[in-house]
Amino acid sequence: MTGRTPIRARCDASDRLVSADEPLAGLQERCGGALPGIVAVPALLALVRKARVSNLPLARRITAIDDGKPISVWVAAAPKQDGVDLELSDWRLAGDRAEDAGAPEDLLRQLAEGHFLLDADQRLLAGHVRAPDLAQLGKQIQHGLGLSGPRKLWTEYVRLEQGAERPGRAQPLHWRLLDDALFTVIGSPRRWRARFLPRPGNTGFELLAIPESIERLPHEPVGIEQAMPAWNSLLGRDLAPALRQPVSRIIANAETIRTRLAGPLAEEYANYAADIAEAGRHLLGLVEDLADLEAVEAPDFSPAPDQIDLADCARRAAGILSVRAQERGIAVKVPGDDVHAPAIGEFRRVLQVLLNLLTNAIRYTPGNSTVVLACGTEGGTAWISVADEGEGLSFEQAERVFDKFERLGRSGDGGSGLGLYISRRLARAMGGDLNVASTPGEGACFVLSLPADIQGGMALRG
């Protein structure tokens, strides 16, 4: 399903979604949110908060899970005095288009080290750079976007090579004549190619800055000699984005076959399709873990701290995994609406840790049992715990459970042995920690601790 009509929405100054067209309004509710209410889609909430805090227009493609299926949508966020206006386009189920298999634009996006959003007149609306030698260009763009008055043309930020320039004209050449044009920027020794991707409905363009010659992996710092990149950088940073879409398409097609949406099918073949879908999910989970592993082990990794409520995070995580828990007959108890545990941490990363802990609890606790999420504050620390009624861990297992690739002898359970390692790294990067208390035969209790938000706590009590 490809959305051609822009979907419009608005968030207030507290990141609450106050109005939204379909299908965003429906996705908000299916993700456990309300309308009006805090944005329930983690990737969208992160973009809204970043646009609001920076007071700069931002645009990028985000992914989300809707009823267990991956969706992809382009989002433009424009900060206003009292909130953020959103415009969503190209809403589609990942793998829904035949051309998605190896689509050229997807490869271009992975090679691009600068990504810009233009209007129909090629005026710059938003921009994001990833290459170190484009940092000066990024600062110039941020400065330009922060000024009042008409937006600048993208060509005012770069120097087009001879043949693509149009001296004395207010407008650049037609985009088809500029597609694949070479340009240079101040601060970069490299030459760059401009690649245009028209947006749906003739509303503008995505402009990608791609190195003229790919002599190194994307995002590798200029001037650093590397005979062989680290394995986790190669897999997590460069191959993971390219693998997500084809693997998601395999899963979607296998589910179509399994559910017999394409027509009658013998039971054994439906079972084969179910095995393919499950294997695809396992591979996709491994891809995501490798991407996270590369991120948390990077020397410059630093989460974006924010004021959050661990009780709210617990309720969101339980809502996202409610269907999986119900399928196994597991009850998930969460803190009541009147319970708060204000903390300082990156919302998206905290939710990631909780989803990992809750997924493990649902996976390893017996059916028809209970998983309990509790939270609170003690002095300068806020905490949230996830306790199950599974087999528990021995002292030796508890010592090893946070090691990289440690699966405690389990096989065939779909795990990569990276989830808890990554979760602890994230917790410590946010100034907290992740620990486990366990008694064999009586279940395990994982506790995430973070710095308490004293001011936020006073506001909540007031």
pTM, two decimal places:
0.46
Q: Give me the pLDDT at residue 157, please.
A: 92
Q: At 198, which helix (H) or strand (E)? A: strand 192-198
Q: Are strands 124-129 and 159-160 parallel, antiparallel or unpaired?
A: unpaired
Q: Give me the pLDDT at residue 382, please.
A: 95
Query: What are the pLDDT tens digits along the chain (462 aa)?
Result: 444 567 899 999 999 999 999 889 988 888 888 889 999 888 898 889 888 887 878 777 787 877 767 788 888 888 888 999 998 887 877 544 433 433 456 656 767 888 888 888 899 888 888 888 898 998 888 888 877 778 889 999 999 876 555 544 456 678 877 887 889 999 998 888 898 888 776 778 889 898 876 433 333 333 333 333 444 444 545 566 666 667 777 877 787 787 777 667 788 777 778 778 777 776 776 667 666 666 677 777 778 788 899 999 999 888 888 878 888 899 999 999 999 999 999 888 898 899 889 988 998 888 889 999 999 999 899 999 999 998 888 888 888 888 877 766 554 445 567 788 889 989 999 999 999 988 777 889 999 999 998 776 544 544
**Distance (Å, whole) CA 140 – CA 133:** 13
* Contact by Cβ (8 Å): 392, 375: no
Q: Give me the pLDDT at residue 374, please.
A: 95
Q: Give me the pLDDT at residue 294, please.
A: 67
Q: Where are the domains of the chain?
A: 7-94, 104-211, 234-296, 306-461
* Domain 7-94 belongs in CATH node 3.30.450.20: yes
Q: Give me the pLDDT at residue 448, please.
A: 95
The CATH number given to 306-461 is: 3.30.565.10
Q: Give me the pLDDT at residue 457, please.
A: 59
Tokens for 418, please give them: 């990276």
**Distance (Å, whole) CA 402 – CA 173:** 56
Tokens for 400, please give them: 């090893």
Tokens for 399, please give them: 């010592």
Q: At 322, which helix (H) or strand (E)? A: helix 322-327
**7-94 and 104-211: same fold?**
yes
Token pair 């997500």 in the structure block, residue? 244
Q: Give me the pLDDT at residue 3, please.
A: 44
Tokens for 19, please give them: 């109005």
Q: Give me the pLDDT at residue 381, please.
A: 94
* Domain 104-211 belongs in CATH node 3.10.620: no
**Distance (Å, whole) CA 233 – CA 455:** 39
Q: Give me the pLDDT at residue 115, please.
A: 86
